[in-house]
Amino acid sequence: MMNTMTPKTTVAIAVPLEAELVERIRAVDPSVTVLYEPELLPPERFPADHSGDPGFRRTPEQEERYWAMLNQAQVLYGLPNESPAGLARIAGSNPHLEWIHAMAAGAGGAVKASGLDAATLQKFKVTTSAGVHALPLAEFAALGIFNGFKRSAELAQDQAVRNWPELRTPTRLVNGSHLVVTGLGEIGLETARIARALGMTVSGTKRTVEPIDGIRDVTDNDGLAGLLAAADAVVNTLPGTPYTEKLFNREVFAAMKPGTVFVNVGRGTVVDEEALLEALDNGQVSYACLDVFAVEPLPQDSPLWNHSKVMVSPHTSALSAAENRLIAERFCSNLRTFLDGGELPHLVDTVHFY
């Protein structure tokens, strides 16, 4: 008699998550067993604090239970201890592992930092939470554009010293201006959607050059300098890879027209920060709104901290109170696809690590 029983799938929750969201994961399919021991997970300090309280310590017995739980699972929700070292350890200790869903949109960096070789990385899949952060990042990019066009940094400086300028300085209209977006993925396209709603025209870059509805010109990164001459604002959404490192260098900033507003919600390594500072000082860039930096936390001696034309955001623009729910919903959708034998979306590229 043929066995028609559905194979069982075990999911282990490796990072902090609210109990009600764990129940949503359990509800995806009766064949799914979800292992969740909240006392083994560090408490969150704020919404979507996937690493949890750094002061949290497991007892030796709890540490053993944590890894025993993870080693039973075919699927992990989160990297173990939300760290590259945890990923490296589980890859060596769990022979059943088929898939890990990472909390970050840019989880490729953690996969690379784990030091796992190509053969090991072929044994299981890693998916990212790319797309979950698209709307908050796009809204932050719009904030950066508005700040630059409406002179918010100068207004704040005048307010701080109670200065009412004798001469009135005009602001710039966002409507009718042109935006260039580097990286027309989910974040870039959401940024473009908001920009078009504000009356901007949009061009951008994409690894695979193809026409995109609503986008005026699409090139690869080699064609970026050619796009910049017409840009009033530039938003970077690109991940950090060897191919994007210091893409925004002196030559690229020099290709911008004077007064360009620059926003970075991708990765800090995409920007040569010395070249950016030069562009700010010579007027090529009139304002920079930065959520990411080459070294994080931003070093105390970085001149970006005190620059009058720079907003420093501590890599938090993607965070919203809804993040845990949105990631859990994405995971539930992916879990359904996994159970049905479909292709998982947002897989980490283990060659380029994005």
Active site (catalytic) residues: 267, 296, 315
The C-alpha atoms of residue 181 and residue 201 are separated, in whole angstroms, by 11
Residues 6+ apart with CB under 8 A from 119: none
Closest CA relative to residue 105, chosen from 137, 138, 129: 129
Contact 56, 78 (CB under 8 A): no
Phi/psi at 32 (5° precision): -95, 130
Contact 233, 263 (CB under 8 A): yes
Contact 349, 129 (CB under 8 A): no
Contact 278, 251 (CB under 8 A): no
Buried b / exposed e along 106-138 (16+ C-beta atoms within 10 A): bbbbbbbebebeeeebeebbbbbbbbbbbbbbb
The C-alpha atoms of residue 233 and residue 289 are separated, in whole angstroms, by 11
288 has which bridge partners? 262, 310
Sign of CA pseudo-dihedral 275, 279, 281, 286 = negative
The C-alpha atoms of residue 95 and residue 72 are separated, in whole angstroms, by 9
Q: What is the DSSP letter of 123?
A: S
**Residue ranges of E strands in 72-152:** 75-77, 99-101, 125-127
The C-alpha atoms of residue 111 and residue 88 are separated, in whole angstroms, by 9
